Amino acid sequence: MEHPDLHSAVTDAANDIAEMEIRGAATIADAAAAALGEQAESSAADSPEAFRVEIRTAARRLHETRPTAVSLPNALRYVLRGMRGDTVEELRESVVESAAEFRRELDQAQDNLGRIGANRLRDGDTIMTHCHSTDALSCVEQALEQGKEIHAIVKETRPRKQGHITARQLRDWGVPVTLIVDNAARRYLDEADHVLVGADSIAADGSVINKVGTSGLAVNARERGVPIMVAAQTLKLHPDTMTGHTVEIEMRDEREVLSLDEREDVGDVTVENPAFDVTPPRYVDAIVTERGQFPPESIVTLMRELFGDQQGGEPWDEPEL
């Protein structure tokens, strides 16, 4: 019972999340919930206690992959809170249903968020994007469905160039795309009506934790008078920050910055590769969620409403009786 067998759906999802084969805060949450559901479905646990240990162990394995996007622990917590029953069968059913319900709500929330965010985009507007965010793209998709014409300036987003994913998606939707290197962003801000980004976590003070480079973009956009719009489902709200915790910024491998050959060429220097940064609330105009849009300073009101007094804690903590 110490080391329950983990289903390959869990170990594969965990590896893919760590390697960023599965990436993007909402997509990671969806994959983690699906994997927990599969673990429950195929569990061979011979007692309710063994089943609970198995599901909690799977949740831990999924959680230890990447530290910054709170959508991951929020998803695990949602599924684990739905685990109920006195028999293995009842427990199994509850986890499978809880995982499926989470995934349905995730889809629904993203659509609702998109409809709200689309109202900020006017016919003929140009957006500037950073990285790849399904929440941000949902706003564009809904604006297009409303018949608006949208143009996009897409930052490539070093080091992993996830801007290319955004460029491909927008191109598929028929949006005219101009791809630029990150360093050209300030120059092209004069042509943008909005900066539109997603978030991995939102802190209680309205700070936005998103792909590294977001904060510099936000400062430049403010200086140029271009509004910054952050598309983030409530799944991105970080409950622990209500009690003063800060969000851990993931540091990734230097190989994403320098190839082996480049490394050899450059020689003995230190390479730092933070995946995210923190944009203070004063540089953000609106946080768009599926529950409406908020000035960043007032997001704490929504967090109190959603989380009440309950703190985050580890997703696999035993519920207090």
Q: Contact residues for ligand RI2 (CB under 6 A)?
A: 23-27, 131, 133-136, 162, 197-200, 210-211, 275
Residue 105 CB, shortest distance to ligand RI2, in Å, is 14
Give the residue with the Cβ less far from ligand RI2, 125 or 135.
135
Sign of dihedral through CA atoms 208, 213, 216, 219?
negative
Catalytic site includes residue 86: no
Residue 49 CB, shortest distance to ligand RI2, in Å, is 35
C-alpha distances in angstroms, 306 versus 69, 110, 244? 18, 17, 17
**Catalytic residue chosen out of the listed positions 131, 135, 139, 240:** 131
Give the residue with the Cβ less far from ligand RI2, 98 or 133.
133
Give the residue with the Cβ less far from ligand RI2, 40 or 113.
113
- Looking at residue 154, what DSSP letter applies? E
| 295 preceded by a cis bond (ω within 30 of 0) | no
Residue entry with tokens 């240990």: 53
Tokens of 164: 């290319």
Give the residue with the Cβ less far from ligand RI2, 24 or 67.
24
**Catalytic residue chosen out of the listed positions 30, 200, 240, 285:** 200
Residue 90 CB, shortest distance to ligand RI2, in Å, is 32
Q: Pairing state of beta strands 194-197 and 126-129?
A: parallel
Residue 139 CB, shortest distance to ligand RI2, in Å, is 10
Closest among 213, 187, 183, 188 to 279, alpha carbons compared: 213
* b/e sequence 136-145, b meaning 16+ C-beta within 10 Å: bbbbbbbbbe
CB atoms within 10 A of CB 124: 10
* Residues in a beta bridge with 183: none
Catalytic site includes residue 139: no
Residues 129, 153: contact at Cβ < 8 Å?
Answer: yes
Give the residue with the Cβ less far from ligand RI2, 21 or 49.
21
Residue 31 CB, shortest distance to ligand RI2, in Å, is 11
- The residues annotated as belonging to the active site are 131, 200
